[in-house]
Chain A
Amino acid sequence: MADVTMRVWRGDSAGGDFADYTMPAVEGEVVLDVLHRIQAGPAPDLACRWNCKAGKCGSCSAEINGMPRLMCMTRMDELPTEEPVVVAPMKTFPIVRDLVTDVSFNYVMARQLPPLKPKAPEADGTYRMQQVDVERGQEFRKCIECFLCQDVCHVIRDHEENKPNYAGPRLFIRYMELESHPLDTNDRRELLRQRMGIGLCNITKCCTEVCPEHIKITDNAIIPLKERVVDGSYDPIAWLGRKIMRRTKRSAAEVAQDAPAFTAPTSEDRLERQTVPVAVGAAVGAGNPAAASAGPGAGPSEPAGGTGPTAAGDPFGTDAGA
């Protein structure tokens, strides 16, 4: 078979450029396969994220010939090979190196999402839900958090300044899942309207176009959320109904108090939490200078927490290392 040329972005925050790699074509390959052969051959230092190679982990997002796609689900034989296949990192997020980007923006927005606030359980202390009540949200559970939708969304792709006030399509589906949850009592509409940018989305549907899980993000989450926000804020009849029924609306600030940023630790918090006990443990078990010096250091020094001496002197060391 003929050769394929891959034009891959190489660089980091100091700058970069495309580099061409010509590889023999192999039948049945996906873009990620070719990148792996490049790593095994001409460019062992090429950085890219991947895990499952089955379109299920959401790690291998990149822009292939300009379109945000999963590298492991893009077959080489569906791409034109007369010209080089261009592989660039996701544009919306800061670059780490080569094809790896820092997607922590999405986690920051996720932490501000008020979680499920279930109503009181039934008399026997349990909850019951019918299938019809939950099936709408099940579509959104298919999300693999590849963040291709966040990447393609022009609200933040082309307007960086919107990021602090924009949850983005991936989180809008989560908002919709919770807002339409049969047990939920939280009201996130004001938060969506004032702080999470539901009004910034102009329903141009690029998120739906790129979603590898084929979630109908715009039709089934964003537009229904916009309609719910209309109920809450722009609909005089609904407003009158609320006045008569004496239901009050919660302000965005009140709703934000429910956000997990205030209540629930996430992976980053775990990291903080893991570093703390090491220091505490060192202070308690004073005869362990090794642990004391390891304490303040983050990530790399962490295994120290799990090793013999600290674990023995401090039960939390075990916890942190586990």
Chain B
Amino acid sequence: MACCRVDRTGRHPGGPGGSEPEKEDKSGVSTIDDVKPIPVTIGGVRGGPAVRTLRRDPWWKSPAFTFVVLTLFVAYTVWAVFQNADYFVGLSQHRDLISPLYSPCIVGSCVPGSHGSFLVLHWWMLTPALIGLSGPGLFRSTCYYYRKAYYRSFWQSPPGCAVADGHKRYTGESRFPLILQNIHRYAWYVAIAWNVILTIDAIMAYRLPGDGGIGVSVGSLVLTANAAALWMYSLSCHACRHVTGGHVNEFSKAPIRHRLWKVVSKLNAIHMQFAWISLFVVVIADAYVRMVAAGWFTDPKLF
């Protein structure tokens, strides 16, 4: 208890800070060196009833919601990945729109026009979305926020605060495979590269080939929103907060990193919101491109 801390004078007998060391020094009192660490006693009798939780509020609502939304997201993404079609709107419709799930399209199976003049993996004949999703997938699945979300809602560890963990044994993130969550920082570097690519995609979407050259269509706005949401999501990342300035101990000696850290800290406080927004926007962007490519409607030109 904070109230009960014992004054610790005399901790450094004879040390520079000791205020009244003499008296204690000559005392023959058991010295600091005699103090042995106390082992932790485990297995004491606990109070309260042996029930899973005493909570009566609807604590299960939030994990249930997360469970449903993330399941739907994964289901949609898997479906979209294995469509391997309708991910690009090209010259035939006077647009240059590519689904964010399929970008960058650098493999042999890409439809003409969806990639630059060269293919990096021309022998790759599976769906290009496996490449397109690899970086962002790694990034999102190791994200500190999503970790919290799926540990609670899927793994039930714990399902809610003061609600018993659904597992007998628990090693957290200290063992394989979950120790691999520590690569999140690298996933962040990769995600930044992806953001650059998706930003280029968004800029290219303002080219309306054969339709007046440059203009604004709903599709270009959707891809711009997608790129912006991803930037906000990845710039508010905890790893970003650490590498930009969080690692510094003496901010007064690193004013630029301090300023960066303050900006990122502000964004970081709403990282959860960015995580959800960017998730929805990616799905919307993919669905939009998909519908236009499938010919359900044409992408309206605004001006």
Contacts and interface: CB of A to CB of B under 8 A. Distances in A.
Interface of A: 9, 11, 13-14, 16-18, 51-52, 56-59, 63, 65-68, 80, 83, 86, 88-95, 98-99, 101-102, 105, 108-109, 111-112, 130, 132-133, 136, 143-146, 152, 154-155, 157-164, 179-182, 184, 197, 199-206, 209-210, 219, 223-224, 226-231, 233-235, 259, 261-270, 272-273, 276-277, 280, 315-316, 319
Contact of B47 (A91, A224, A265): A91
- Among B8, B53, B162, chain A packs the most CB atoms within 10 A around the CB of B162
In the complex, which range does the number of interface residues on chain B fall in? 35 or more
B238 interface: yes
Interface string B258-297: 1000000000110000000000000000000000000000
Contacts of A51: 1, 3
B215 to A, nearest CB: 43
B48 A63 contact: yes
Given A63-B162, A89-B47, A316-B29, A160 B54 contact: no
The DSSP consensus for interface residues of chain A is mixed
B54 A268 contact: no
B162 A68 contact: yes
Given A108-B40, A200-B171, A261-B38, 7 more contacts: A9-B47, A88-B54, A105-B40, A164-B42, A199-B172, A204-B157, A224-B238
20 contacts: A9-B49, A59-B3, A80-B56, A88-B48, A109-B40, A112-B37, A154-B157, A199-B173, A199-B179, A200-B170, A200-B172, A200-B174, A202-B157, A203-B144, A204-B158, A226-B182, A235-B185, A267-B6, A276-B29, A316-B29
B46 A95 contact: yes
B200 to A, nearest CB: 27
A248 to B, nearest CB: 18
The DSSP consensus for interface residues of chain B is loop
Interface of B: 1-6, 8, 11, 23-24, 27-30, 32-33, 35-49, 53-57, 144, 147-148, 151-152, 157-158, 161-162, 164-165, 169-175, 178-179, 182-183, 185, 238-239, 241-242, 246-247, 249-252, 258, 268-269
